[in-house]
Structure 1
Amino acid sequence: MTESEIETAAQLLAEARRSGVLIDALPVVPSSVAEAHAIQDRVAALIGQQVGGFKIGGAPGEPTRGLIFAPMIRPSPAQMSDAEVPHLGVEGEIAFRFTRDLPAADRPYTRGQVAQSVAVSPAIEIVSGRYRDPRGRPGLEQLADCTINGGLVFGEEIADWSHLDLPNLRITMLVNGEQVFQKRGGHPTGDPLAAAVTLANMLPDGVKAGQIVTTGSWTGMDFLKPDDHCLVRFDGLGEAEVVFDG
């Protein structure tokens, strides 16, 4: 993509965020992770909102990150409207909040260093994009739209979580009080902390205390309706819940 094409894509996505009017597609699909990230960064500058968190994805060797803007990161129990997140997708996840700055360094941060720099909490990622059919768009086009993230709801955090066997926790998801998912384990990589390590080592300016990284869906993706209530519970960790106002 040219710089002009990146700017045009960012303008379209930024306006969709401001107005709530969804778009069909970008005029040009990014051809690389770097281009998709550049579009995200330009959107952040255009809408002027603080980046409060990230979602991590991608194959080994080329990690990706989706920006999560601070106004859409909310403590549980949370409310979100279908005007804010029209697709109403939910995923049960574990999130980490950085408790101290990890600035860019000459050598990669180790797993132990990152583990000592984060608190953990249950979370619900809200999936909602700026495209009318976000999951129907190519992967790099989804990435340009912050990997179609709509927001994040986080539960009460645990600062000293060394006693928790995070990959093997039991997770339960309830929608309107009915159990729709339960399983022991189920993180997509089997290693939630790896996402925090990846983030700490991929950002040019490092991470800042207070920023959150959500680490991948344990439950798959469910699409709900206005007025639905979703609760995610990790045994030994806690709960997060969100209500979608119609």
Structure 2
Amino acid sequence: MTEQEIAAAAEILAQARQSGMQINGLPVTPSSVAQAHEIQDRVAVLVGEPIGAFKAGAPPEGEPTRGLIETRMIRSSPAHMAVAEVPHLGVEGEVAFRFIRDLPARSEPYTREEVAKAVAVLPVIEVVSSRFHDPLSRPKLEQLADCGINAGLVTGPELADWSHLDLPKLQMTFTVNGETLIERRGGHPTDDPIAGAVALANMMRAGVKAGQIVTTGSWTGLPFFKPGDRCTVRFEGLGEAEVVFDG
């Protein structure tokens, strides 16, 4: 993408966010993770909403990625979200981390131990929706430019001392309208939730701030629901997060 194409993509996505109108796709697909991240950052400036959280991916092989989540779309559980806000109604049950101290940008990468000491842990539901009509049909880098097709975050209770938890092996239960859809031990896509927080701390050019949250990968896949549905994810020893989609 040229500089002009990056700027045009950011303008299109910003307008879609502000108007609530969905688009078919971008005129040009980003050719790198860095370009997709640059589009996200420009959209955030154009829209002018504070960023309170991130989604982060840290594949064992591959480039780490992140998506910005607006503060206004972070809700405490039990939460209600309107279909008008999140029209695709996708849900991902996840383990997230809240930074309890600033981790400013620096040349030396932060270690796992440093990041682990700087975060509390909490259960969350990432609500998935997009500025695209059919988001899963778009190229992965277009989805990433649209903040990883994130729409919001529902946060459960926070645990400051989580050293006794074996996070990759937590017992997870996912229920919809009172019916258990998934019940198993483990299920994080890389079996390493904290890796996403480490990756984020080392990706952000301006560092991360105390109070910001990073969610680190779905334990439930990505099911889509309908107005009126109530979705709950529960992690043994950690707690639960719940969202209801209002029509």
**Which category of TM-score, normalised to the shorter sequence, fits these structures?**
over 0.9
1:10 maps to a residue whose letter is A
CA distance in 2, matches of 1:9, 1:109: 32
Shift in Å, 1:19: 1.3
CA distance in 2, matches of 1:188, 1:25: 27
2:89 maps to a residue whose letter is L
5+ residue gaps, structure 2: none
Q: In structure 2, what is the equivalent of residue 23 of structure 1?
A: 23
Q: In structure 1, what is the equivalent of residue 189 of structure 2?
A: 188
CA distance in 1, matches of 2:204, 2:179: 40
Shift in Å, 1:61: 4.8
1:84 maps to a residue whose letter is E
Query: Which runs of structure 2 are paired with 1:116-135 in the superposition (5 Å)?
Result: 116-135=117-136
CA distance in 1, matches of 2:197, 2:120: 11
Secondary structure of the residue aligned to 1:225 is coil
Q: In structure 1, what is the equivalent of residue 158 of structure 2?
A: 157
1:26 maps to a residue whose letter is L
5+ residue gaps, structure 1: none
CA distance in 2, matches of 1:7, 1:49: 18
Secondary structure of the residue aligned to 1:197 is helix
Q: In structure 2, what is the equivalent of residue 224 of structure 1?
A: 225
In angstroms, what is the RMSD of aligned CA positions?
0.9
Q: In structure 1, what is the equivalent of residue 213 of structure 2?
A: 212
The answer to whether 1:106 aligns with 2:107 is yes
The 8 Å contact of residues 92 and 219 in structure 2, kept in 1 or not, is answered as: yes
Shift in Å, 1:106: 2.8
The 8 Å contact of residues 58 and 196 in structure 2, kept in 1 or not, is answered as: no
Shift in Å, 1:18: 1.1
Q: TM-score, normalised by structure 2?
A: 0.97
Q: In structure 2, what is the equivalent of residue 14 of structure 1?
A: 14
1:66 maps to a residue whose letter is G
CA distance in 2, matches of 1:98, 1:244: 28
CA distance in 1, matches of 2:134, 2:176: 23
Secondary structure of the residue aligned to 1:152 is strand
Residues 104-160 of structure 1 show CA distances to partners (whole Å, capped at 9, x for unaligned) of 123111111111100000010101010000000000000000010011101010000
Residues 83-108 of structure 1 show CA distances to partners (whole Å, capped at 9, x for unaligned) of 00000000110000000000012311
CA distance in 2, matches of 1:112, 1:142: 31
Percent of residue pairs identical: 68
The answer to whether 1:41 aligns with 2:41 is yes
Shift in Å, 1:58: 5.5
Q: In structure 1, what is the equivalent of residue 50 of structure 2?
A: 50
Residues 172-229 of structure 1 show CA distances to partners (whole Å, capped at 9, x for unaligned) of 0111111111110010110101111111111111110011000100010110101111
Residues 1-25 of structure 1 show CA distances to partners (whole Å, capped at 9, x for unaligned) of 1121111111111111111110001
Secondary structure of the residue aligned to 2:218 is coil
CA distance in 1, matches of 2:192, 2:213: 17
Query: Which runs of structure 2 are paired with 1:82-93 in the superposition (5 Å)?
Result: 82-93=83-94
CA distance in 1, matches of 2:58, 2:138: 16
The 8 Å contact of residues 128 and 151 in structure 2, kept in 1 or not, is answered as: yes
Q: In structure 2, what is the equivalent of residue 147 of structure 1?
A: 148
Moved more, 52-61 or 205-214: 52-61
Moved more, 150-159 or 104-113: 104-113
Q: In structure 1, what is the equivalent of residue 245 of structure 2?
A: 244
CA distance in 1, matches of 2:120, 2:199: 16
Moved more, 87-96 or 48-57: 48-57
Q: In structure 1, what is the equivalent of residue 167 of structure 2?
A: 166
How many pairs were matched up?
246
Shift in Å, 1:72: 0.7
Runs of 4+ in 1 over 6 A off after TM superposition: none
